[in-house]
Amino acid sequence: MTFKLGFLSHAFGDDPQQVYHDLIEQFEVAEALGFDGGRIAQHHLNNGFGRLPSPLVLLAAVAERTQRIELGTGVIVLPFEDPIRLAEDASVLDALSGGRVQLGLGSGGANLDNFSAFDRDPTQRQVEFAEHQQRLQHLLAGQPLAGELTLQPPAPRLGERLWHSHGSTDGAVYTARQGNGLLLGTATHDPLTVQKPLAEAYLQAWSRTDRAPRIGVVRAIFPASSRADAQAELAVDIERHIPRLQREGLIDEAVDLQAHLRLMNVHHGHPDEVIESLQQDPALLPYADYVIAVVQAESSTQAQILKRLEATARDIAPALGWKRR
């Protein structure tokens, strides 16, 4: 099957100005390499881990420096957002970029520590997600608010480019019933037991005839000259995730680097090894309409990121069926 090729950045770094300049360069390089799209993760109130609380603002700068590449979020925490203001900002960006926005939305499961700061109840996040998402979708479709007030500028096609990130089959079914795309994350857990059921539930629940279902699959892809070199580049960053693996009950104590890489579903090594690893991923190629590569770890340099983007577009994605448009 063919698919679109994208990348996802989490905006790591200590200097916000440099982080943003690097992100813009990543989009420029990715566009030159033929990537179909790029996505930026939203992080609130983080010191260094993710320095971009306002991805649409940065994507407006990217829009001015690029011509073709799609501009996505991965994802905006919808319970924290006013759906009217989000619709307005997204519609302005869509007009500015010539209809290139891919709007990814989430309920904030990875941001539970932030809910008190936004005066939100984390136990209500799924309810608030659905309420805000439906209002956002109605606005984008041109449906009026009070009286005859409608979204300005209009963005009727943007409503066809909404994506949900969910971690349950109920969420996947809900996404299908809303007619939106489903985003599957990097899958710290086994993609066979965690993500494949979501993809299957989404496709089985899809009933629309005016558009096709869309599944975007995010995968950590770290090509290098060899597996040993890739592991050396990743070692420090993987070690930072050991406490999280323990909290989630995936390990009792630190094991070894290779075991941790397997648990975090990191496809790494020589491009041929990465290709083989991705081909064996049970929740990727059978389902992905959009393969979204994460090529950046916390300590990655810009040179490493750009080199990995190049290897992904030149060597890896074409071997999996991607065709440059």
CATH of the domain at 202: 3.20.20.30
261 within domain boundaries: no
164 forms beta bridges with 105, 182
> What is the rounded distance in angstroms from the CA atom of residue 165 to the CA atom of residue 292?
13
Q: Does 259 fall in a domain?
A: no
Q: What's the confidence (pLDDT) of residue 254?
A: 61
* Assigned domain for 236 exists: no
Q: Give the chain's residues under pLDDT 50.
A: none
Q: Is residue 311 part of a domain?
A: yes
Q: Is residue 194 part of a domain?
A: yes
Residue range 302-312, pLDDT digits in tens: 999 999 999 99
Decide if 302 is inside a domain: yes
Q: What is the pLDDT of residues 190-204, one digit of tens each?
A: 899 989 999 999 999
Structure tokens at 257: 């680097």
Residue 258 located in a structural domain:
no
The pLDDT, as a whole number, for residue 250 is 66
Is residue 159 in some structural domain?
A: yes
pLDDT given at position 48: 65
- Over residues 45-82, the pLDDT tens digits come to 987 678 899 999 999 999 999 999 999 999 999 999 99
Number of domains in the chain: 1
Residue whose pair of structure tokens reads 């566009």 in the numeric block: 31
Q: Kindly report the pTM of this predicted structure.
A: 0.94
Average pLDDT, the chain: 93
In whole angstroms, what is the distance from residue 214 CA to residue 59 CA? 22
Supply the range of the domain harboring residue 27.
Answer: 4-229+266-320
Which pairing describes strands 162-165 and 181-184: parallel, antiparallel, or unpaired? parallel
